[in-house]
Each structure stands twice: as C-alpha cells, then as structure tokens.
Chains A and B, each alone.
Chain A
Amino acid sequence: AQSVTQLGSHVSVSEGALVLLRCNYSSSVPPYLFWYVQYPNQGLQLLLKYTSAATLVKGINGFEAEFKKSETSFHLTKPSAHMSDAAEYFCAVSPSGFQKLVFGTGTRLLVSP
C-alpha cells in the first residue's frame, strides 16, 4: 500500500528565505507524486506533479521538487519565500495507472516579514 510522510506539521521561514517542505513516500510500484497547495478556506490547487519523466519538476509560483528514488523522497523547494506563499501544502502519491490519491498530513508554511 502507498503512504506519504510529511515531516513537520508547521514550517516557519522569513520572507526571502529558502522554502523546503519534506515528503517521503512508500510505494511498491512506480508512483505518480503530487504537491498541492491549499489557501485558507479554499480547495486544493495543483502545484506540480511527477510522472516518471524528468526527476526535477517545476511547478507554479516558482516551486520545484526533485524525485529521488534512492531516498524515496519528493521534497518541495522554493529559493525565496513570499508572503503570499503562506498556506498548507500537501504531498500525495498515486500508483501509475490508478486514480486514487493518498495524501500526507500536510505542512503549514508560515512566512514572516
């Protein structure tokens, strides 16, 4: 069965600092991996996804993530945080060819001036 672990329920950074949100997955088959963002009182919006093409995936709003099979990781990064990045971020995994998503518990990103 697939599962996702997100380390840190809250991450605090200063505006302009590096953002690093961690995600480790377990999957018995090559997975699809996703990062979604949820702004307050809104639904989930796709940031980026990995589908076995390039291991470095670029998404919207300057975010990117690198798939590392040896570490079973898919960490999300952004070089310079902006106040508007404050939100909750979810990592999710899905086995290729299926539609079901398994989500991590989420990481709330706090950005201070």
Chain B
Amino acid sequence: NAGVTQTPKFQVLKTGQSMTLQCAQDMNHEYMSWYRQDPGMGLRLIHYSVGAGITDQGEVPNGYNVSRSTTEDFPLRLLSAAPSQTSVYFCASNNAGSGNTQYFGPGTRLTVL
C-alpha cells in the first residue's frame, strides 16, 4: 500500500513551457486535492475532485487544469508555466469515512525560470 504518490519530485521549467504533475493513490479514496505551498502562506487549495469525472476550483486555480478520469489518478497540468508558479505542490486524498482527514503525498518541487 503506497498511499499517495507524486512524480516527479523535482522539476525545472522555462517560462511558457507546459507540464503535468502526476498524482496517484491506491486507497480507493473518492476525494483528491491539489495544494501549493509557498513560504509564509501555508498551503492553498488549487483544484479538487469529489469523484471520477467531477472536479472543481479551489482558492488559487488560475493557470492550472485538472481532470479525473479514474478514481486513482488526479494529474495537475500547467499549460504555460510562469515564475509565479514556482512552488511546492502537494496532492492529497481522503474519503467520507476518514472524517475529512487528508493523506498527503511527498510533494513536487517546481521551479519556473
């Protein structure tokens, strides 16, 4: 049981490039979320999903796209990277039975030059 996994661990992009951050969970959780962590700002919700085929925006969705075609996977896409998207990205999952307890992946550290 791997829990929540994220790839890659580190990534450097140039402004304007696109990429996809991968997130997978093997706990059969209904809910999955993406957060970004910036110094002094805590974690902020980017997008979340309450099940396959259903996604919604969080607090800071601009510049990011998501989709949820399977229960296990929830990729985050940056269509045209900007320096403001330099951050650490965390994926999390939970289900109704976990009492809103979210389980976090190890994170992806992204630098946009």
* Contact mask for chain B residues 24-41; partner A; CB cutoff 8 A; 1 contact, 0 none: 000000010101000011
Minimum Cβ distance to chain B for residue A66 (Å):
18
A100-B104 contact in complex given A32-B99, A105-B41, C-beta closer than 8 Å: no
Interface assignment of A113: CB less than 8 Å from any CB of chain B: no
Interface assignment of B48: CB less than 8 Å from any CB of chain A: yes
Number of interface residues of B (CB under 8 A): 25
Interface assignment of B43: CB less than 8 Å from any CB of chain A: yes
Q: Which residues of A contact B (CB under 8 A)?
A: 9, 32, 34, 36, 42-46, 49, 51, 90, 92, 94, 96, 98-106
A-B pairs, 4 with minimum CB distance: A103-B42, A43-B104, A44-B104, A103-B43
Q: Which residues of B contact A (CB under 8 A)?
A: 4, 31, 33, 35, 40-45, 48, 50, 58, 90, 92, 94, 99-107
